[in-house]
Amino acid sequence: MTQITLRFHGRFVHSVSEATDSITVLAPVFGPRFDPHLPLMSIAAHNLVFADPNVASLLTTVDPTLRMESDAADLRTAEMLVWDLSGRTVTYDVVDVVRLNSSTNAAGESVEVLDLLALERLGGRDATLHPDARALANAVVEISAGIGTAILAFPDIEKSKFITEADDANGPPNVPIKNADGQDEEKLVAEVVEFQVALPDTRSFLTLTLTPPGGEAGKISVKRGATICFSHMCAPLRPRRRNDLEFSQYYDLLASPPGPERLIPVEPPTPAMALGEGIDCYAQALVSRSE
């Protein structure tokens, strides 16, 4: 089988259903406290299928928001098509096993997508996903097949610790929250999640369906071996921030969002070769649901 990669980079919540063996990826709406975020999907133009002799209708029918050029040496493969997913739901036509795994860094330490429910338990609270979470999101991608892996964008990053939003508001010194053993809670936080979707040998392309609210759905067909990139990051340039207050917006997708006691990561110093601007605009979150 050939695989297609779904890469999520930026601010996403992965809502794992124990009942239906699926994952709903939500791009939260960032409120007035934060810079605007854009949910975008980009695909290299040479990986798109527009027509097929065995199919009468056009296979890709959704116009891109913009076309851009990558730095590929071969200009025939440099063009990227980009779609603004604001208000849209993305699905695709393969149903198979779905799973989201942690990974390890070079030292064998676990790299994780932060579990909102686990973080809430550290504060002595329970949590469930809001029943209308999809409606509260900027964009939605339904994962109906694929094995996901949590990935570090910056391999040399150190573990993050966690403070409360109230502690952040009070300024340094920040006091990290403790785990059950009385030690500072700390984790290697994934900034990227990649799902590998197996495409059967009988299939030459994967078809995405983009559905706007109350509008007509459109199709995008993608060749075997392609990577489909989803990004959701703040648009403005800004200085790097030590405390990832933006992470707090994820909690607004819970049925009972916590107040100032919600936990946010304290990011370690920037690695020498990492981006300086916006490095705190990547950490993703996980929340499980049973329905």
In a domain, 129, yes or no: yes
In a domain, 26, yes or no: yes
On the question of a cis peptide bond just before residue 236, with omega within 30 degrees of 0, the verdict is no
pLDDT at 270: 61
In a domain, 164, yes or no: no
Give me the mean pLDDT over the 65-90 stretch. Answer: 94
* Parallel/antiparallel/unpaired status of strands 2-10 and 192-199: antiparallel
* Parallel/antiparallel/unpaired status of strands 13-17 and 285-289: parallel
> Predicted confidence band at 1 (pLDDT cuts at 50, 70, 90)?
low
Q: Is the pLDDT of residue 238 over 70?
A: yes
Average pLDDT along the chain = 90
**pLDDT above 70 coverage of the chain, percent:** 94
In a domain, 272, yes or no: no
Q: Is the pLDDT of residue 17 over 60?
A: yes
List pLDDT tens digits, range 134-188.
998 999 999 999 999 999 987 778 899 999 999 999 988 899 999 989 999 999 9
In a domain, 255, yes or no: no
Domain that holds residue 38: 2-154+187-240+278-289
pLDDT at 242: 82
List pLDDT tens digits, range 247-260.
999 999 999 999 99
pLDDT at 215: 79
Q: What angle do CA 54, 59, 13 make, to 5 degrees?
A: 135
List pLDDT tens digits, range 81-112.
999 999 999 999 999 999 999 999 989 999 99
pLDDT at 208: 97
In a domain, 168, yes or no: no
Q: Is the pLDDT of residue 213 over 70?
A: yes
Residue 272 backbone dihedrals phi, psi, to 5 degrees = -55, -35
3-state secondary structure of 76: helix
From the list 222, 233, 176, the residue with the least C-alpha distance to 9 is 233
pLDDT at 278: 62
In a domain, 262, yes or no: no
3-state secondary structure of 166: helix
In a domain, 51, yes or no: yes
Number of domains composing the chain:
1
pLDDT at 274: 54
**pTM (2 decimals)?**
0.94
pLDDT at 96: 95
